[in-house]
Structure 1
Amino acid sequence: MTEIRKISEVNDIHWLGFFAALLAAPALLASVLIGPLWLLDLVYHSQDLRSFMGILSVLSVIGATLYFCIGTPVLIYHLRRHAPQVGRIVGLSLVSLLWMLPIGAAFSIAIFEPGPIMFAAISMGFGLIGAPPLAALFTLVYLRFVRL
């Protein structure tokens, strides 16, 4: 019994577009979210707004770090095998967040503290908000480069 296996077609990645989209997507998202808050702070000089922006900035740094460390290899693997589609990459970003809970649980068990699992759960919660628009922006910017 011989089994005929199809060799999967490997797509070429437009590397300039990939890295431009990888950097442009978080910058665009941050400017859309933080830009209006910064303008409001200039107008009203509100201390409450500054503390909110500080929290949002910290969450953005954590999210961007995870985006670059986890998202880059996942996106490379995916784009090698599939054409870029907004819906598919947004779904992939949501599925990619699932790794956080088991790793947080393992760290919590290893050190007998609830901190890592709580951090993982909170980060995953904010990731569920930020990952879809980030993935959609990445795909749209990448598609612009591929079509040029």
Structure 2
Amino acid sequence: MTKTPTRTKKFYYRRVSWQSKDKSTLEKMLKDAHSQFKTAGERTFLKTDGEVQGASYKIEDKHRGIYLHIGVCKPGESASVIDGDKTLVESNTDEHPAPEGKEFLDGEIFAYVRKNHIIFCTTNLQETILKFYLRKVLGKCGFAAIVVVN
């Protein structure tokens, strides 16, 4: 079996400030929000070109903070595949639907939030998706708007 090559990922840092006088932290607000929304469906928000889903989260007691895994998909969308046989003169391409009960991801964001600090990395997504998810999940709980600062 061949070893999968290691991929290099960039990590980004942002600090959060608030438009309100609220003294709470983003970490606390996210923990409160995610304790209310136990299922991925409750953490899924429609966007014009698909769905943004809080796929999973983990609250870290030892080091504090909260880990977020955010995925974006277009429900029911097929994906292109190509023949894997390299001996063919020409490779054929075709579209296939996702397996039953699954969706193809358009991209992912992995984030760690501690107090008002965010460290994150993305795959095929822009930072605006992270901001969108944070606004939606916090807004669903009635929390104040945030401003993400470099």
Structure 1 or 2: more strand by fraction? 2
Structure 1 or 2: more helix by fraction? 1
TM range, smaller chain: under 0.3
TM-score (norm 2): 0.26
- Ranked by relative contact order (alpha carbons within 8 Å, sequence separation 6 or more), the top structure is 1
